[in-house]
């Protein structure tokens, strides 16, 4: 049995139903879907998404990424996206391994295995990379530890470290190295993104965000868009609308209440932004999504 078949078998066994399944291994989760899904908003945190069966489409800003078992997706910063499983069935469900990027480990590896990195321009916050046999082998050994819990505490950190090493030396190495380096442009933008995620309900000035990132206003704006695909204010709007959608679907808030909760003072402006982003008015969209197994996630 090769590594990919082993991953399909073990992940399938540990995901008895559709949804996101945390595992006993810290920072590791599994995802399953037996059907294609409607586009759903989510904020990708720094993670590796390794599909072993099926296919997914992710849109960040104006850029769309389609990936499957041949290519992994790695997100280097917290970034709002629209994601949809586009290939899945009962016989061959969509299966994915998600591994959080452990920054201390990644930084240690970057120091141990330096590379010529003269280009300080920030990489995009999401990139695709080729899924190599070495990466698949490490991933298979990691999920295999779910069947050997007595070994997992000792061996899982070593195997996660190997996976991060494969990312650091693979086709997405330039971006991974930037996020591992504290003084990179990508890391500077990440500081502003972390602040925005905690304060998206509040009014914010571009100058204040630029100060957080340690950049001039014009440099910050250009680098922020290079990383996220959106302007800082568009990024904040996406965060607001995604949270409002979650509140309406999962907590049954009405449109006015959800809009106010996420920082909108004008219900009409909230409705306009929502319809532009999701394609439907708030109440109609929430009604369509209620009852979906994926909606609360």
Q: Domains in the chain and their CATH numbers?
A: 3-180 (2.60.120.10), 234-289 (1.10.10.60)
Angstrom distance (rounded) from CA 288 to CA 290 = 6
Three-state DSSP at 31 gives strand
The contacts of residue 100 (CB under 8 Å, 6+ apart) are 27, 28, 45, 46, 47
Angstrom distance (rounded) from CA 7 to CA 28 = 14
Entry pTM: 0.81
The answer, yes or no, to whether residue 297 has pLDDT greater than 50, is no
Query: Which whole number is the average pLDDT over 83-105?
Result: 94
**Model pLDDT, residue 294:** 46
pLDDT in tens, 130-139: 999 999 999 9
Tokens read off for 227: 């990383």
Query: Which whole number is the average pLDDT over 214-237?
Result: 88
**Model pLDDT, residue 282:** 92
Angle at 273 between CA 287 and CA 256, to 5 degrees: 55
159, with CB counted inside 10 A (0-12, 13-18, 19+), is buried
7, with CB counted inside 10 A (0-12, 13-18, 19+), is buried
Angstrom distance (rounded) from CA 105 to CA 182 = 13
- Average pLDDT for the chain: 88
Angstrom distance (rounded) from CA 189 to CA 193 = 6
Angstrom distance (rounded) from CA 285 to CA 270 = 14
């Amino acid at each position: 049995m090769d590594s990919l078949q082993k991953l399909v078998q073990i992940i399938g066994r540990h995901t008895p139903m559709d949804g996101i399944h945390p595992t006993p291994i810290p920072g590791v989760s599994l995802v399953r879907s037996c059907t294609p899904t409607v586009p759903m908003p989510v904020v990708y945190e720094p993670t590796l998404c390794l599909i072993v069966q099926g296919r997914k489409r992710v849109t960040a800003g104006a850029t769309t990424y389609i990936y499957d078992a041949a290519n992994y997706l790695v997100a280097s910063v917290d970034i709002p996206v629209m994601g949809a499983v586009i290939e899945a069935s009962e016989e061959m469900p969509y299966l994915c391994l998600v591994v959080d990027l452990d920054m201390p480990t990644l930084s240690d590896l970057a120091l141990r295995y330096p590379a010529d990195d003269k280009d300080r321009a920030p990489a995009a916050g999401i990139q695709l990379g080729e899924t190599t046999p070495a990466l698949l082998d490490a991933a298979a050994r990691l999920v295999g530890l779910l069947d050997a819990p007595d070994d997992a505490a000792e061996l899982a950190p070593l195997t996660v470290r190997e996976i991060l090493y494969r990312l650091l030396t693979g086709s997405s190495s330039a971006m991974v190295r930037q996020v591992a380096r504290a003084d990179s442009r990508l890391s500077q933008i990440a500081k502003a993104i972390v602040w925005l995620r905690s304060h998206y309900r509040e009014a914010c000035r571009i100058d204040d965000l630029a100060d957080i990132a340690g950049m001039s206003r014009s440099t910050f704006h250009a680098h922020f868009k290079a990383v996220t695909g959106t302007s800082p204010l568009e990024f904040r709007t996406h965060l607001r609308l995604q949270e409002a959608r979650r509140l309406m679907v999962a907590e049954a808030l009405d449109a006015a209440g959800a809009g106010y909760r996420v920082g909108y003072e004008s219900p009409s402006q909230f409705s306009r932004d929502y319809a532009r982003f999701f394609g439907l008015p708030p109440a109609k969209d929430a009604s369509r999504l209620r009852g979906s197994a994926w909606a609360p996630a």
